Amino acid sequence: MDVPAPAEQAPEPAAGNPEAAARRRRFAELLEEFRHTAVLVPLGEADAPDRERGMLTADRNGVRFILAFSDGQALARYARARGEFARDWTYQTVLGARLLDVAVPAAGVPCGVALDCADGPDGMVFPPVRGVVPDGAAVDFETGGPA
């Protein structure tokens, strides 16, 4: 299966706002690092057969987020926060780029990725916008031109 090319980069913010430009550069660096990193993606619905279990997701404000974790400790913190630490967690190891370029568009609804969501400000959200996900899955893009 061919993986689509990454989406085009979003335009740089106005030159007069260096703080915004620095935040945008830092996000671009984190996004690039995520795209090249294998992460743990838990499978949902523990009582379903493995072949029918999808990636664990959470919906927030009309957007679905695939939950991903940088390592086993981050997944354990999430399990503890949910009171499910004793549960046997089944997960897949997936490259970040594959989540953004393949899994997000396959969701069929606005979808992004939440990395290490139990870690508060140390977690990261990759929203379904241009420059993060393919244009066809971005909520800020319409066929025929920008929204």
Is 77 a domain residue? yes
- Is the distance from CB of 41 to CB of 67 less than 8 angstroms? yes
SS3 73: helix
Is 81 a domain residue? yes
Is 26 a domain residue? no
Is 96 a domain residue? yes
Q: For residue 46, what pLDDT band results from cuts at 50, 70 and 90?
A: low
Q: For residue 15, what pLDDT band results from cuts at 50, 70 and 90?
A: low
**CA distance to 101, 103, 136, per residue, from 142 (Å):** 17, 20, 8
What would the pLDDT profile of 82-96 be if each residue is shown by its tens digit? 999 888 899 999 999
Q: For residue 146, what pLDDT band results from cuts at 50, 70 and 90?
A: very low
Is 102 a domain residue? yes
